Amino acid sequence: MEVGPTCHYVMGGVEVDADTGAAVVPGLFAAGEVAGGMHGSNRLGGNSLSDLLVFGRRSGLGAAAYVDELGTDHPAVAEEDLADTTAAARAPLEREAGENPYTVHHELQDTMNDLVGIIRRGSEIEEALEILDKLRDRVANVRSEGGTIYNPGWHLALDLRNMLLVSESIARAALEREESRGGHTRDDFPDMSPEWRKVNLVVSLRDGRVRLRQRAVDPLRPDLLELFEHEELTKYLTKDELAADATAKEEL
């Protein structure tokens, strides 16, 4: 039997409001592994279940409140968008020529596994981004045989577009984050940086391209900060934050 490391959980995910599960896209709600922000840089065993229970409920309530607020004014799907989506979905089936989606999939897997895997290096991630850039056209032109009923080759052709986007997002964010933290290990930046702790990386799709921006993490509430030993905090906080914490604890 062949044994190897594999990806089994994604800590990042859709950017949601913690109280309602609402994403930035109006009417889209997310909870569980697909939502980001809950687990920080590493998920501890068992936490995913509590995540589901707490944020599943919040998202359900959030979605219900959203629908109630809409009243009778439900947004409609534009016919044009529907037609565009249908055409895009059918395109791989209608192409006369094109690459086998399995071949492209295999190359995408190999690239991400070899270059943006468990131990990452800046130069390798850059190499991966170049390869992903070349894969973009190939993904757009894959061809699927057969019909629309239970056709795995066609499903893969549709999935590939999203796989490529997610791969690029992961690679761009991994290159940007010049530290090692939780599930993200940079061979060229082996230490955890208190400065980077204060930053979230947010990716979004703008005009068909992945856009990456930094966003400040909300500071930890003082009452929560109090729960930690000062020594424990020295591993995570910047000097300024530590000084503030020391003063606060003295005042107690």
Q: Which residues bind another protein (CB under 8 A)?
A: 1-2, 100-103, 106, 144-147, 149-154, 156
Q: Which is nearer to another protein, 7 or 217 (CB)?
A: 7
Minimum Å distance from CB 86 to another protein? 19
Assigned token pair, 11: 């800590």
Query: What CA–CA distance (Å, rounded) separates 180 from 10?
Result: 16
Report the candidate in 166, 64, 234, 188 with the shortest Cα–Cα distance to residue 246. 234
Minimum Å distance from CB 94 to another protein? 14
Minimum Å distance from CB 7 to another protein? 15
Assigned token pair, 27: 């009417």
Assigned token pair, 75: 């947004």
Q: Which is nearer to another protein, 106 or 230 (CB)?
A: 106
Q: Which is nearer to another protein, 137 or 150 (CB)?
A: 150
Query: What CA–CA distance (Å, rounded) separates 26 from 44?
Result: 31
Minimum Å distance from CB 247 to another protein? 47
Q: Which is nearer to another protein, 109 or 234 (CB)?
A: 109
Minimum Å distance from CB 91 to another protein? 15
Q: Which is nearer to another protein, 27 or 152 (CB)?
A: 152
Tell me if 100 sits within 8 A of 142, measured CB to CB: yes
Residue identified by tokens 């055409």 is 87
Residues in CB range of 83: below 8 A, 6 or more apart: none
Angle, CA 8 vertex, CA 4 and CA 10 arms, to 5°: 135
